[in-house]
């Protein structure tokens, strides 16, 4: 989405965000889902409103926002257009690395809303085990590096201006992972075709192959071999918290739609609405209680991160798993609660139902996070050491 026009203002005020959602994102959401088209107009409008630069430093023209603010944005978007929210979520996760290690030109472009980035971590050879890249980086002359990899799923594939790309280390023994900033139009990159998925249909998620992709050594983000530490310290907390916000944003919208259905649908022979019936009313209340509990956990996780509490790491590992399973349970419950009406597109439930199921299978999956949480609580290392 590279632009050549004059830099837009980076006013990421709530009022301007609300206007973008109301005037651009929401009117396009159903069409994005129906056709699977990448939401370019929505992403461009978010960039113009300063939202792509939300986490960027004011020194580069960004808003200087934090993860809590990003979570609020992603959560609000998720219930309106899950595809747009996921594109922004992955951009924010990538920006955590770019802000720490990217060059000034790219940081300025991100801050000004000209540059969309994304993560390229998961690989065909190691699946959702993002911490074990099998892709390689080898010297290719004094100032150039050759990258080869088969990335399994990349959000915004063929749409992003750059990928925060993981590989094995450049120097043997330097560490398990090195990160690079790879231009989206670099020769040797090939996306695996258009995405035709169950949910998040417009997020352009696709395999990406890198065959002899050459980048300058200065494209390295951080230190050779220390990319896993960067991923765990910067990317993972942001990604997990924003994923939780995404899931709960979808869950909240599902519950709002269910509430409206219960109030407006009437049993004519009784002269009452479904909301006046104790069974559906109780089922709705139980779903709302679970969603509210998960949101309290998210708020506590953000507080733990902001204050540096000792349990912050555990809370971060827990929050995506809890929110993902809560959203999936809410989606299932709302479908049951609304009955046959929920299967019709016009109610809006079935689209959110599909989007709600994505987080539990996105790396790190719910199963992997349960294992991480168990390891953290039982005093075991996060990853088994390998030779």
For residue 268, give the CATH number of its domain. 1.20.140.10
Beta bridge partners of 150: 209
pLDDT at 12: 63
Note whether residue 299 is domain-resident.
yes
Half-sphere exposure of 11 (CA within 13 A, CB side): 8
Which of 224, 240, 264 delimits the end of a domain? Answer: 224
Whether residues 180 and 318 share a domain: the answer is no
Task: Give the chain's domain count.
Answer: 3
Evaluate the CA torsion angle 266, 267, 269, 270 in order and state its sign: negative
> Phi, psi (5° rounding) for residue 289?
-60, -45
Q: What is the CATH number of the domain that holds 201?
A: 2.40.110.10
> How many whole angstroms separate alpha carbon 85 and alpha carbon 242?
10
> Phi, psi (5° rounding) for residue 348?
90, 0
Note whether residue 7 is domain-resident.
no
Per the prediction, the chain carries an average pLDDT of 93
Whether residues 278 and 360 share a domain: the answer is yes
Note whether residue 306 is domain-resident.
yes
pTM of the model: 0.93
Q: Are 47 and 8 in contact (CB under 8 A)?
A: yes
pLDDT band per the 50, 70, 90 thresholds, residue 387: very low
Which of 224, 251, 284 delimits the end of a domain? Answer: 224
Contacts of 386 (CB under 8 A, 6+ apart): none
Whether residues 332 and 198 share a domain: the answer is no
Residue 1 in this model has a pLDDT that exceeds 70: no
- For range 54-75, the mean pLDDT: 97
Q: Which of 101, 9, 12 is nearest to 55 (CA)?
A: 12
Note whether residue 263 is domain-resident.
yes
Note whether residue 215 is domain-resident.
yes
pLDDT at 283: 97
Per-residue pLDDT tens for 156-166?
Answer: 999 999 999 99
The structure tokens listed for 214 are: 């050459």
DSSP 8-state secondary structure symbol assigned to residue 267: E
Pairing relation of β-strands 144-154 and 136-139? antiparallel
Cα 172 to its chain centre, rounded Å, is 32
Whether residues 295 and 373 share a domain: the answer is yes
Structural domain for 58, as ranges: 14-116
Sheet order of strands, 136-139 included: 136-139, 144-154, 206-216, 189-191
Whether residues 150 and 206 share a domain: the answer is yes
Note whether residue 261 is domain-resident.
yes
Whether residues 100 and 124 share a domain: the answer is no
Per-residue pLDDT tens for 200-227?
Answer: 999 999 999 999 999 999 999 999 999 9
pLDDT band per the 50, 70, 90 thresholds, residue 5: very low
**DSSP letters along 53-94, please?**
TTTS-GGGT-----HHHHHHHHHHHHTT-HHHHHHHHHHHHH
Angle value at C-alpha 57, between 53 and 62, nearest 5 degrees: 35
Residue 10 in this model has a pLDDT that exceeds 60: no
Whether residues 155 and 288 share a domain: the answer is no
Whether residues 323 and 359 share a domain: the answer is yes
pLDDT band per the 50, 70, 90 thresholds, residue 127: confident
pLDDT at 296: 98
Note whether residue 323 is domain-resident.
yes
Element (H, E) at 26: helix 26-35
Other beta carbons within 10 angstroms of residue 374's beta carbon come to 11
Note whether residue 383 is domain-resident.
no
Whether residues 131 and 206 share a domain: the answer is yes
> How many whole angstroms separate alpha carbon 35 and alpha carbon 339?
26
SS3 132: coil
> Phi, psi (5° rounding) for residue 162?
-155, 160
Q: What is the CATH number of the domain that holds 89?
A: 1.10.540.10
Whether residues 181 and 90 share a domain: the answer is no
SS3 369: helix
Whether residues 76 and 152 share a domain: the answer is no
Per-residue pLDDT tens for 294-343?
Answer: 999 999 999 999 999 999 999 999 999 999 999 999 999 999 999 999 99
Which of 89, 116, 143 delimits the end of a domain? Answer: 116
Whether residues 89 and 130 share a domain: the answer is no
- For range 180-197, the mean pLDDT: 93
């Amino acid at each position: 989405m590279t632009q050549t026009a004059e830099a837009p203002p980076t006013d990421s005020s709530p009022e301007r965000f609300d206007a973008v959602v109301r005037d651009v994102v929401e009117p396009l959401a159903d069409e994005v889902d129906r056709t699977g088209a990448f939401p370019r107009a929505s992403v461009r409008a978010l960039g113009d409103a300063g939202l792509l630069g939300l986490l960027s430093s004011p020194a580069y023209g960004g808003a200087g926002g934090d993860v809590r603010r990003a979570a609020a944005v992603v959560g609000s978007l998720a219930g309106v257009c899950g595809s747009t929210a996921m594109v922004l979520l992955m951009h924010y996760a990538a920006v955590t690395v770019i802000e720490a290690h990217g060059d000034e030109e790219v940081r300025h472009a991100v801050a000004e809303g000209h540059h969309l980035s994304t993560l390229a971590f998961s690989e065909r050879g190691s699946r959702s085990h993002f911490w074990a890249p099998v892709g390689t980086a080898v010297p290719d002359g004094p100032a150039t590096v050759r990258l080869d990899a088969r990335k399994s799923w990349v959000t915004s594939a063929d749409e992003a201006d750059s990928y925060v790309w993981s590989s094995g280390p450049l120097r043997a023994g330097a560490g398990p992972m090195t990160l690079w900033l790879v231009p989206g139009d670099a020769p040797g990159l090939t996306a695996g075709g258009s995405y035709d998925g169950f949910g998040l249909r417009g997020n352009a998620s696709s395999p990406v192959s890198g065959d002899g992709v050459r980048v300058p050594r200065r494209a390295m983000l951080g230190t050779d071999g220390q990319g896993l530490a960067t991923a765990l310290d910067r990317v993972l907390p942001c990604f997990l918290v924003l994923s939780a916000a995404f899931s709960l944003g979808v869950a909240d919208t599902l519950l709002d739609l269910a509430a409206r259905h219960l109030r407006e649908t009437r049993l004519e022979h009784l002269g009452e609405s479904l909301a006046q019936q104790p069974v559906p009313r109780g089922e709705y209340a139980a779903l709302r209680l679970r969603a509210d509990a998960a949101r309290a956990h998210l708020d506590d996780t953000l507080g733990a991160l902001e204050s540096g509490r000792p349990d912050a790491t555990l809370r971060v590992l827990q929050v995506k798993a809890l929110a993902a399973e809560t959203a999936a349970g809410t989606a299932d419950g709302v479908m049951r609660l609304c009955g046959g009406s929920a299967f019709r597109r016009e109610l809006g439930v079935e689209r959110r139902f599909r989007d709600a199921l994505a987080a539990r299978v996105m790396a790190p999956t719910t199963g992997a996070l349960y294992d991480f949480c168990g390891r953290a609580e039982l005093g075991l290392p996060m990853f088994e050491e390998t030779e």
